[in-house]
Amino acid sequence: MREIIFDTETTGLSPADGHRLVEIGCVELVNRIETGRTFHVYINPERGMPAEAEAIHGLSAIFLADKPCFKDVVDDFLAFVDGAPLVAHNAMFDMGFINAELKRCGRPPIFAERATDTLAIARTKFPGAKHSLDALCQRYDIDRSMRVHHGALLDAQLLAQVYVELTGGRQIGFDLMEEAVATAVAAAAREYRAPRPHRASAAELERHAAFIAKLKDPVWLIA
């Protein structure tokens, strides 16, 4: 099964207030394992960058000024996700911005039913605990030392690991299959030994009789 773990960075909290995407990062999973295929792009938001947003992700208006607009990368993005289920942390936030940008380009939206929200999963699994990406990385002992600022691709890579742990761990099915294959290989390599006949040979009966003759008053011969 192919899944896309993704994250976005933006100029603010709501596209309804005129805020825009500035970064998209995607990681491909196949059967819950990272394939190494990623999609990552910085986007010119065609507007200024509020200081509070820049403090979170470190992306300035100057840095983004020469980057492509969303309409220039939309085809590459849609080709990468290609109908696969999407996974994000607080998915409705990211989906809201993606769909707002798609609408600007005259493209159809991505339906919410296609997205899995790891924040909702974490809240159900660990009620009352902290559910931020940092908190979940700490819970599952996932190295986040490179996360100085929020970054869409880095956060998607961290979330991919969190998602696998949240939904049962890396070993589901895989270790059992690996063990079965190893057992079969070992059995095939074992030296064949013909089964032993169940009836004692004449030589074995003779040695047994000689052994019994040396016993003094064996209990099974007492009248």
Is 57 a known active-site residue? no
| Among candidate residues 94, 24, 19, 15, the one with its CA nearest the CA of residue 50 | 19
Helix residue ranges per DSSP H, 65-140: 70-81, 91-104, 118-125, 133-139
SS3 48: coil
Exposed / middle / buried, residue 213 (Cβ in 10 Å: 0-12, 13-18, 19+)? exposed
**39 Cβ partners below 8 Å, 6+ apart?**
24, 25, 26, 76, 77, 80, 81
Maximum distance among all Cα pairs of the chain, rounded to whole angstroms: 110
Of residues 19, 57, 89, 150, which has the active-site annotation? 150
Inter-residue contact 156 to 8 (CB < 8 Å): no
Place of tokens 């394939």: 35
Active-site amino acid positions: 150
